[in-house]
Structures are given as structure tokens and as C-alpha cells.
């Protein structure tokens, strides 16, 4: 991740949470699930394209991410609306994901300066993400096997991941102490 401030970070996170809520609503067979999914996919695709266009310096990896998000969003929209040719969008999404994973992969989630100090707050949220991911994986496998409470576990995992994505929305950032580098103000 680059150290510069990324634009549309909050709206992208909200659209991703809407998408996860739509997935959860679809699994629970709630009304308007397809509309929620459609809004989530469309918002994610449009916001990411706007973010890409407003970026001043574009690298090859940025184009790969654009293709990944755009084709994934189009795949979701085409699938929801039962349009043909969804296999093309799925193939492009898969290919761009493999390219992204080879070029950047898990390094995307690492801290660049390696000096970030973890507080108990961050450790608990990271544990919640890991538990949510584990709940989604195990809930999916148990759902395939038609076990009891698989849907409960799956929905709990999706809810935990959505809460992790939105955690920064409701908690204000703490200002850094050495922001001014102990400089004197001149009048």
C-alpha cells in the first residue's frame, strides 16, 4: 500500500459492506437481496473507476487492480440480472486476481514502514477478522454437507467481516504526537 492518502476509502468500504450485507440477505432469502447486491456491486465498480481516474501516477499493478474490480463488479451485475456471457467476466476476474496475487499478493496488507505498533484494540479487531474468516470458510463447508447451524455460522462470519471493514467508520483516528517534529512556530 502506498503511504499517500487514498481517495474514496470510506465510500468504497461502505459499498463493500453493502455487498456483504446483500450476500447475507441472499443466503437468508430475505426480500430485496438482489437489489442490495446490485447496489453494492455497482457502487463498488463505479467508485473504484473514479478512484483510478483521479490517481495521478498509475503503475501496471494499478491497471491490474482496475481490471480485477471492474470485471468482478460486472460479473456480479450480469449474474444478478441473468445476462449472458458471465463466464467471460469470471475468466477476466480470475486471471487478473492471479496476476495481482503474483505481483503483490499478501504484501498489500502489510505495513510498509514496519513500525506500526499494535494496540489491544487492533489485536482484538484482527482476531475478529480471523475468526470471521474461519467462520465463513467452515460455515460454507458445513453448508455443503447440509449440517445444522451451518447458515448461522456463515452469517456470523460475514457479519464479523463486515464489522471489521466498517470499524474505521465509527472510530475517529487518533492524531500522531510527533506530527510537527518539535518545530517552533514563527510569526
pLDDT in tens, 31-63: 999 999 999 999 999 999 999 999 889 898 899
The cell for 109 is 496488507
Side-chain half-sphere CA neighbours of 23 within 13 A: 20
Residue at grid coordinates 484494540: 121
Q: How far apart, in whole angstroms, are the C-alpha atoms of residue 81 and residue 34?
A: 9
Q: Which residue has the cell 444478478?
A: 80
pTM above 0.85, yes or no: no
pLDDT at 63: 94
Q: Is the pLDDT of residue 185 over 50?
A: no
pLDDT per residue over 161-176, tens digit each?
888 888 777 666 655 5
Q: Which pLDDT does position 113 carry in this prediction?
A: 53
pLDDT for position 43:
95
User: 187: pLDDT confidence band, cut at 50, 70 and 90?
Assistant: very low
| Residue at grid coordinates 500522531 | 176
Contacts of 32 (CB under 8 A, 6+ apart): 25
Confidence band, pLDDT 50/70/90 cuts, at residue 3: very low
What average pLDDT does range 17-31 have in this prediction?
90
> pLDDT digit string (tens) for 4-16?
567 888 899 999 9
Q: Coil, helix or strand for 32?
A: coil
Domain boundaries, the chain: 1-113, 117-172
Q: What pLDDT sits at residue 85?
A: 87
| Integer Cα distance of 137 and 175 in angstroms | 37
Average pLDDT, the chain: 83
Mean pLDDT along residues 95-120: 69
Cell reading at 164: 471489521
Residue-wise pLDDT for 55-66, tens only, equals 889 898 899 999
Amino acid at each position: 500500500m502506498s503511504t499517500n492518502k487514498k481517495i474514496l476509502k470510506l465510500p468504497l468500504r461502505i459499498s463493500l459492506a453493502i455487498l456483504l450485507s446483500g450476500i447475507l440477505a441472499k443466503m437468508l432469502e430475505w426480500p430485496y437481496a438482489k437489489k442490495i447486491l446490485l447496489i453494492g456491486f455497482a457502487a463498488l465498480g463505479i467508485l473504484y473507476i473514479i478512484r483510478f481516474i483521479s490517481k495521478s501516477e498509475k503503475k501496471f499493478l494499478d491497471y491490474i487492480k482496475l481490471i480485477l474490480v471492474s470485471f468482478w463488479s460486472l460479473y456480479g451485475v450480469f449474474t444478478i440480472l441473468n445476462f449472458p456471457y458471465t463466464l467471460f467476466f469470471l475468466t477476466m476476474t480470475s486471471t487478473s486476481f492471479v496476476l495481482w496475487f503474483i505481483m503483490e499478493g499478501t504484501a498489500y496488507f502489510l505495513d510498509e514502514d514496519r513500525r506500526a505498533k499494535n494496540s489491544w484494540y487492533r489485536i482484538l479487531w484482527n482476531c475478529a477478522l480471523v475468526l470471521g474468516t474461519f467462520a465463513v470458510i467452515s460455515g460454507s463447508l458445513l453448508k455443503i454437507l447440509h449440517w445444522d447451524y451451518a447458515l448461522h455460522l456463515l452469517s456470523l462470519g460475514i457479519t464479523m467481516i463486515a464489522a471489521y471493514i466498517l470499524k474505521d467508520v465509527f472510530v475517529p483516528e487518533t492524531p500522531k504526537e510527533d506530527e510537527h517534529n518539535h518545530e517552533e512556530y514563527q510569526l
